[in-house]
Each structure stands twice: as C-alpha cells, then as structure tokens.
C-alpha cells in the first residue's frame, strides 16, 4: 500500500512511515525485502533522497527530497538544528522531574565506538497505571512523553530513555521485557511505542513555515484509550 502523504510539493514530501517498515537496506536489514525508500520511488514515480532516518520500529514523519539541491538544503536545516522533530513515546514509570533535558553522549552504533554529544528534551504529557503487580510494586506505572531530540544520534531517544531509567515500552533492544510482555498480553500491542508525530521547519526555497503531523496507528490509539490519554494528545495538537 502507498504511504500516506502528509505534505508534498515539487521539491520534497513528508510521509507517514508505518512501524515495522525499514527505511532503506542496510546491515541491520536482516533479510528484510521491503523498504520505504523503494516504495516511495515507485509511489512518486522517480528518484527520492532520504533527508533523515527512522528506526524500523518507529512510525511517523519521514522527510524525502526529489532532487539533490532540496536534499542538501533540508539536510543543512537538520544539521544546524533548525528543524524541529517531536516524538510521542510511552515509557516505563513516571519520570522525575517530569520535564527536562537528557544530556548524555552516545556512540554512533555498531562499529562506531566514538561518543558524541547527544541531547533530548522531554516533557511528560500524562501518566497512568495498570492494576497489575510488577517488579515488587502493586501496579505498573507508565507515562506518555513528548520527546524532542536536539541532535541526531543512532537510536537516540531509545537510548536516552534507557539512560533515564524510563525505557520505551515495546523496545526489545533497550527496554523492559516484563513491561513489553504486559502490553502484548493486556493490550494486544506488539510494536515499540515511539512515533515521529510532528516535523517543523522553514521551506528552504519559499520561506514558508511547514508543520507536518503524522496520525497515530490503531495500536497507539488503543494505548491512549486504555490510559485515558487521548485528550492529552488532542491538546498538544492545538
């Protein structure tokens, strides 16, 4: 199926990538045969240039350019931190303080051991509990966060939330297996709950302010409804 288009003109587009779809072929593909880049070339009927990346398990806003000049201009906006990226995330526990900056250097991933500065702003939008004992506590606590990475390191939000000791629900690499199993059995949610919800930037050729929002999928909506968090996201949108 074609990917939903959130914004498009003759130079670039923002699309809504579903969770579970790899953006492009790489060493991490592990036998995958379907990639967003290939699907978008077919969908748009021509070459595309990836301006940034999303993990396979992450859904939401993906920016692609149709020519090298647009890709270069948009890439410079990303590197200079002129492009705002806001993610919705569901994590274990209730972070204290409920908002702040995670300033923790990260390496570049497999084969790239050198650590570089990495900063993520986070804000708790809502909290909730499941009436199930977990890890010695009578209930299991969870939070809905808005995370805004100020840098672009490998799996930055996932690794920063682990460093904060509030890992993402559904993250099988950096998360909490017990809570992940709880969401699978109690809510039927098998995906990692990280969504690139909003992309904000200035059009490099017209100066127009561009804001793209990616709708949440059914699994994410199920979580919002179970915890009563739907209005928190609606308020954020306005």
User: Which residues have a catalytic role annotated?
Assistant: 55
| Cross-strand partners of 7 | 14
Question: What H or E segment, with its residue span, contains residue 70?
Answer: helix 68-79
Q: Where are the beta strands (DSSP E) in the chain?
A: 4-8, 12-17, 49-50, 59-65, 84-92, 99-103, 119-130, 140-149, 194-202, 209-213
Q: Please state at what angle helix 177-187 crosses helix 218-227, rounded to 10 degrees.
A: 90
* C-alpha distances in Å from residue 169, one per residue of 131, 158, 197, 229: 17, 10, 17, 16
212, two tokens: 């793209």
Q: Which of 185, 173, 94 is nearest to 140 (CA)?
A: 94
* Phi–psi pair at 132, nearest 5 degrees: -130, 130
* Phi–psi pair at 54, nearest 5 degrees: -130, 145
Instruction: Give the alpha-carbon dihedral of 77, 26, 184, 3, to 10 degrees.
Output: 60
């Amino acid at each position: 199926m074609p990917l939903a288009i959130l914004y498009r003109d003759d130079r670039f587009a923002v699309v809504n990538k579903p969770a579970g779809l790899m953006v492009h072929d790489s060493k991490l593909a592990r036998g995958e045969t379907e990639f967003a880049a290939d699907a978008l070339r077919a969908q748009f009927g021509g070459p595309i240039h990836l301006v940034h990346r999303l993990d396979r398990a992450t859904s939401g806003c993906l920016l692609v350019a149709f020519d090298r000049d647009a890709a270069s201009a948009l890439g410079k906006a990303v590197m200079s931190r002129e492009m705002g990226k806001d993610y919705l995330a569901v994590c274990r526990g209730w972070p204290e303080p409920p908002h702040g900056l995670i300033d923790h250097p990260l390496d570049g991933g497999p084969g790239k051991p050198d650590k570089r500065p990495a900063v993520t702003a986070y804000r708790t939008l809502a909290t909730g509990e499941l009436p199930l004992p977990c890890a010695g506590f009578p209930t299991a606590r969870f939070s809905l966060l808005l995370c805004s990475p100020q840098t672009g390191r490998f799996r930055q939000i996932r690794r920063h939330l682990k460093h904060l000791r509030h890992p993402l629900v559904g993250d099988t690499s950096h998360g909490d297996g017990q809570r992940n199993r709880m969401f699978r059995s109690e809510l039927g949610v098998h995906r990692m709950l990280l969504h690139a919800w909003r992309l904000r930037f200035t059009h490099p050729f017209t100066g127009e302010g561009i804001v793209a929002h990616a709708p949440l999928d059914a699994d994410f909506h199920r979580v919002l409804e179970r915890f009563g968090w739907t209005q928190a996201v609606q308020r954020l949108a306005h």
